[in-house]
Amino acid sequence: MNPNIERLQPYPFQRLRALFADLPAHTAPPPIALSIGEPRHAMPPFVAEVLGASMSGFNRYPTTRGELALREAISGWLQRRFGLARVDPDTQVVPVNGTREALFAFAQAVVDPRPGAAVLMPNPFYQIYEGAALLAGAEPLFYPLTADHGYRPDFAAIPDAVWDRVQLVYLCNPGNPAGAVIPEADLAELIRRAERHDFVIAADECYSEIYRPGDMPPPGLLGAAERLGNTAFSRCVVFHSLSKRSNLPGIRSGFVAGDAAVLQRFALYRTYHGCTMPAPLQAVSRAAWSDETHVATNRELYAQKFAAVVPLLAPVLEVSMPDAGFYLWPRVPGGDDEAFARQLQRDANVTVLPGRYLSRPGADGDPGAGHVRMALVAEPEACIEAAGRIRELLERT
């Protein structure tokens, strides 16, 4: 067996099940899950029609690179959304079966597992980054995301000796779980560091379309690169998904875009990896990337939930409106996030995720401990009901 498999840590939801294993089963009130970031809004109205019209595509093997029409729709969306002059659909776009698969596979293709190899990632983080680094034969290194720095990375605080070891840097922008947006100036400085220290940047931008209506859209890595004069997106690769943007987590559709030389090697890896998107799902994806109406509706619905939930929780929790995304990242009374999650599960039948399940302890402590993550993905009524139960519970304890 691959010995690196033994280095993998339990997934957050496995730890959550163990945390609740001894709690009695609830019959009332009905359960409300705020623990997992699975969108529950209605899928776009055109999906069923497009899928039905393209069912015959299931009778042929899809190609690794995907159909040109889908790659053209993706490159067009990137150009419109991030103000890019050109994204070549032939060399700079690879459709993937959801960004979870791609974020993991990317490290396997990029990392040279020589002694001292390292992959740098945020803390708290999406655990796929850590597992990808470990199974690629590299050491995961972490940069903390704390309130002191607005839950944004402080790249200047990382010594050159660390940068010299790093082959790959994972970003999540907007961030999961705190929802902070990294300014374009900081992205540009990271690109300059990549040029000086010769590493690749993998920007997970899956939450980029869930921002407050009326706000400026979050910047992207490719836009920062182009405005630096890096029109080839050298060392820059972005990951986008239809799961959050279009409420389509079940079709497992996303894409990777950026540096053509890097993507050529990644596409070769995926030829052997065997993950390809069926033609009917490519047709649905093409339609989704070509439409913004459903995305604006989605954004407005999240904004309504935040506007209702945050004022309900603010009197009893240290909570604030995130820049983007659909999570809340409050500090918990008493500072014990596991105890708080158990209390909510036992006494209110509301499930949240302890922050320490998304982070790793470091020299300055554990940046996830003392927080919980709440995903406002359920219907508005359920989110408001959950907030009301939490407030009532805390007011009487």
**What is the full DSSP assignment across 268-302?**
HHHHHH-----HHHHHHHHHHHT--HHHHHHHHHH
Whether the predicted pLDDT of 225 surpasses 80: yes
d(CA 243, CA 174) in angstroms, rounded, equals: 15
- If asked whether residues 300 and 272 sit together in one domain, one would say no
Whether the predicted pLDDT of 339 surpasses 90: yes
Tell me which long-range contacts 319-323 makes (C-beta under 8 A, separation of at least 24): 321/212, 322/174, 322/178, 322/179, 322/180, 323/174, 323/179, 323/180, 323/181, 323/211, 323/212, 323/215, 323/218
- If asked whether residues 118 and 83 sit together in one domain, one would say yes
- pLDDT score recorded for residue 28: 83
Q: Express each pLDDT in 319-337 by its tens digit.
A: 999 999 999 999 999 999 9
- If asked whether residues 20 and 67 sit together in one domain, one would say no
The distance of Cα 161 from the centroid of its chain, to the nearest Å, equals 28
d(CA 25, CA 127) in angstroms, rounded, equals: 29
- If asked whether residues 274 and 304 sit together in one domain, one would say no
Whether the predicted pLDDT of 224 surpasses 80: yes
- If asked whether residues 85 and 97 sit together in one domain, one would say yes
Whether the predicted pLDDT of 274 surpasses 80: no
Is residue 49 in some structural domain? Answer: no
Q: Which amino acid is at 79?
A: Q
Whether the predicted pLDDT of 46 surpasses 80: yes
- Round to the nearest angstrom and report the end-to-end CA distance of the chain: 50
Percent of the chain with pLDDT over 90: 93
**Residue 212 maps to which CATH number?**
3.40.640.10
List C-alpha distances in Å: 164 to 67, 181, 343: 38, 26, 45
- If asked whether residues 309 and 250 sit together in one domain, one would say no
- If asked whether residues 34 and 132 sit together in one domain, one would say no
| Whole-number average pLDDT of the chain | 96
Q: Express each pLDDT in 168-197 by its tens digit.
A: 999 999 999 999 999 999 999 999 999 999
Percent of the chain with pLDDT over 70: 100
Count of CB atoms situated within 10 Å of the CB of 335: 11
> pLDDT confidence of 382, banded at 50, 70, 90?
very high
Closest-CA residue to 138 (of 290, 4, 295): 4
Q: Express each pLDDT in 51-99 by its tens digit.
A: 999 999 889 888 889 999 999 999 999 999 999 999 999 999 999 999 9
> pLDDT confidence of 364, banded at 50, 70, 90?
confident
- What does DSSP assign to residue 393? H
- pLDDT score recorded for residue 2: 87
The boundaries of the domain holding residue 15 are: 3-42+294-395
- What does DSSP assign to residue 44? P
Is residue 54 in some structural domain? Answer: no
Yes or no: say if 144 and 367 are a contact pair by the CB < 8 Å rule: yes
| Secondary structure element (H or E) that encloses residue 395, with its range | helix 380-395
Mark which of 291, 313, 335 sits at the end of a domain. Answer: 291
- If asked whether residues 120 and 227 sit together in one domain, one would say yes
- If asked whether residues 131 and 222 sit together in one domain, one would say yes
Is residue 298 in some structural domain? Answer: yes
What's the whole-model pTM score? 0.96
Is residue 48 in some structural domain? Answer: no
Yes or no: say if 366 and 360 are a contact pair by the CB < 8 Å rule: yes
- pLDDT score recorded for residue 233: 98
Task: Give me the mean pLDDT over the 269-283 stretch.
Answer: 90
> Among the residues of 21-98, which ranges form H helices?
47-53, 68-82
d(CA 252, CA 236) in angstroms, rounded, equals: 23
- If asked whether residues 99 and 196 sit together in one domain, one would say yes
- pLDDT score recorded for residue 27: 76
Is residue 340 in some structural domain? Answer: yes
Yes or no: say if 206 and 253 are a contact pair by the CB < 8 Å rule: no
Task: Give me the mean pLDDT over the 291-297 stretch.
Answer: 97
> pLDDT confidence of 397, banded at 50, 70, 90?
confident
The pairing of strands 372-375 and 353-354 is antiparallel
The distance of Cα 109 from the centroid of its chain, to the nearest Å, equals 20
> pLDDT confidence of 302, banded at 50, 70, 90?
very high
- If asked whether residues 13 and 77 sit together in one domain, one would say no
Is residue 237 in some structural domain? Answer: yes
